[in-house]
Homo-oligomer: A and B are copies of this chain.
Amino acid sequence: MPHESRSCSVPHSLSRRGFLAGLSAGAAGAGLAACASGAARDLEPGVEVPGDREGEASRLGSEKVPFGGEHQAGIATPFQAHLNLVAFSFRGEADRGAARRLMRLWTEDARRLCEGRAPLGDLEPEMVDAPANLTVTCGFGATFFDIIGRADARPEWLGPLPAFSRDRLDDRWGGADVVLQLCSDDPVTLSHATRHMIRAGVDYVSVRWFQQGFLNSDGTRPDNATPRNLFGQKDGTVNPRTREEFDDIVWIDEGPDWLRGGTALVVRRVAMDLDEWEMLDRTSREVVMGRTLDSGAPLTGEREFDTPDFEATDSYGLPVIDPASHVARSTNPKDAPHQKIRRRAFNYDLPPEPESGQTSNAGLIFICFQKNPLDQFVPIQRRLDEKDRLNQWITHIGSAVFACPPGVADEERGTARNDTGRDAYWGATLLED
């Protein structure tokens, strides 16, 4: 089957937005003038013109992220605008056979959805033909290994994280047997794909929790600009970006075969107290973060990606970046260069709980990927838990860890580790007898 993606040799973020960057202002102006002289007849400003262009591909809608590969998509993939993170519990007497059947089914269906094709049993091709960079990423929880009778294969880091003193964890956002991370730039596509995956697995698993998040839409910010969280901060400035960085930080390259090329997913649900945060003036907010709000630059720099200078002092001899600021506490120490993670966080904003007296119910679905959470997320979070000015306004209310198997073959065929050397479906090497 030919590979349908348009973006196999180009970072897809460039193909997504590169068109516009190349447009001269003159061309844009001419386009507008043409519109004004034509279709505006009989219409008032803001009134829509009926569209009747069946089957015409749109730009963003037709963008695809390759499904097969050495690693699962949705990890190094640039942020999409929308997230559904769904955790599942196996039903009743599930065993390795059930897990295998589920993974075969899910992998095949996810592949089709990401390629813009309706999975078997999905009678709505119109709901899948605009993948808009859809990715579906699968992870296994600690209990998954008991269900499949392979406790021996469970990574030592897989399980509840060590307790942090400030945690206020709610079990409703806790660990689960298996997780799917679905992301897309179109919320209708995402809704349908999520719905399909839940339904496809209904004989094997039921939903344990469901976290919905969002970021700035594609097209509303410049190419790859770092999205903002609901405190107005650029969120995700420090992230691996090159192949070497991902190899160093994210992709597991030792231990059991079934996990090589995979990674560890940590999800923390972080409530953000907007009511209190907004009491602060901007200077205080910037001191808390150690970065400016506008550009996201460290207080010792001018641009977002400048390296913070924690030694710099002001005219009084005081540090320019407060040692208790979020950037100072979260940056890895020089003697621990491996304490980095791939962040992929999304905002949530729900109606306030009735009777809570609060005006918001918002926060961050903090997702990160790394080789080993005990060596990466945990020491970072321990520093933040001990001291971080931001702690006054945030509370970790959910925590879960999953092991993401490596990517699968580019095509549907064969069994475990087919002739491409890749799994035929998620976890095939682990699940085949």
A residues contacting B by CB (< 8 A) are: 6-15, 18-23, 27-28, 30-32, 34-36, 39-40, 42-54, 56-61, 65-66, 69, 73, 76-79, 81-82, 123-127, 130, 132, 185-189, 191-192, 194-195, 198-199, 202, 207, 209-210, 212, 214-228, 230, 232, 239, 241-244, 246, 274-275, 278, 281-282, 285, 293-295, 303-305, 347, 349, 351-352, 359-360, 362
**Contact between B360 and A126, CB atoms less than 8 A apart:** no
Q: Which residues of B contact A46 (CB under 8 A)?
A: 7, 11-12, 65-66, 73, 76-78
- Apart from A14-B35, A123-B285: 18 A-B pairs, beta carbons within 8 A: A7-B46, A10-B35, A22-B31, A44-B243, A45-B69, A53-B225, A54-B303, A61-B220, A61-B221, A123-B278, A124-B232, A127-B228, A127-B232, A194-B349, A195-B349, A199-B275, A199-B359, A217-B217
**Contact between B241 and A130, CB atoms less than 8 A apart:** no
Q: Which residues of B contact A274 (CB under 8 A)?
A: 195
Q: Which residues of B contact A50 (CB under 8 A)?
A: 224, 226, 241, 304-305
**Contact between B241 and A216, CB atoms less than 8 A apart:** no
13 contacts between A and B (CB under 8 A): A11-B39, A12-B46, A15-B32, A50-B226, A53-B223, A53-B225, A123-B281, A187-B214, A188-B227, A188-B228, A199-B275, A209-B351, A212-B351
Copies in the complex: 2
Q: Which residues of B contact A215 (CB under 8 A)?
A: 187-188
Q: Which residues of B contact A232 (CB under 8 A)?
A: 124, 126-127, 192
Q: Which residues of B contact A82 (CB under 8 A)?
A: 187
- CB-nearest residue of chain B relative to A223? B51
Q: Which residues of B contact A195 (CB under 8 A)?
A: 230, 274, 349, 359-360, 362
User: CA of A189 to CA of B227 in the docked complex: distance in angstroms?
Assistant: 11
- Minimum Cβ distance to chain B for residue A32 (Å): 6
- Minimum Cβ distance to chain B for residue A213 (Å): 9
- CB-nearest residue of chain B relative to A201? B359
Known: A50-B241, A232-B127. A207 touches B351 (CB 8 A): yes
Q: Which residues of B contact A347 (CB under 8 A)?
A: 187-188, 191
- Minimum Cβ distance to chain B for residue A373 (Å): 22
Of B15, B36, B219, which one neighbours A219 at CB under 8 angstroms? B219
Of B21, B54, B224, B362, which one neighbours A295 at CB under 8 angstroms? B54
**Contact between A10 and B294, CB atoms less than 8 A apart:** no
- CB-nearest residue of chain B relative to A66? B45
User: CA of A82 to CA of B15 in the docked complex: distance in angstroms?
Assistant: 25
**Contact between A18 and B42, CB atoms less than 8 A apart:** no
- CB-nearest residue of chain B relative to A275? B199
Known: A191-B362, A226-B51. A207 touches B352 (CB 8 A): yes
Q: Which residues of B contact A14 (CB under 8 A)?
A: 32, 35, 39-40, 49
User: Which of A6, A45, A243 has the largest number of chain B CB atoms within 10 A?
Assistant: A45
Known: A185-B217, A220-B61, A220-B132. A198 touches B359 (CB 8 A): yes
- The SS class assigned to the A binding surface is loop
User: CA of A298 to CA of B76 in the docked complex: distance in angstroms?
Assistant: 44
User: Which of A10, A27, A34, A42 has the largest number of chain B CB atoms within 10 A?
Assistant: A10
Known: A123-B281, A191-B347. A242 touches B31 (CB 8 A): no
**Contact between B8 and A45, CB atoms less than 8 A apart:** yes
Q: Which residues of B contact A227 (CB under 8 A)?
A: 188
Q: Which residues of B contact A27 (CB under 8 A)?
A: 19, 22-23
- CB-nearest residue of chain B relative to A192? B230
Q: Which residues of B contact A278 (CB under 8 A)?
A: 123, 199
Q: Which residues of B contact A20 (CB under 8 A)?
A: 19, 58-59
User: CA of A198 to CA of B13 in the docked complex: distance in angstroms?
Assistant: 35
User: CA of A212 to CA of B32 in the docked complex: distance in angstroms?
Assistant: 32
Of B32, B73, B243, which one neighbours A43 at CB under 8 angstroms? B243
**Contact between B61 and A126, CB atoms less than 8 A apart:** no
Q: Which residues of B contact A220 (CB under 8 A)?
A: 58, 60-61, 130, 132, 185-186, 188-189
**Contact between B22 and A217, CB atoms less than 8 A apart:** no
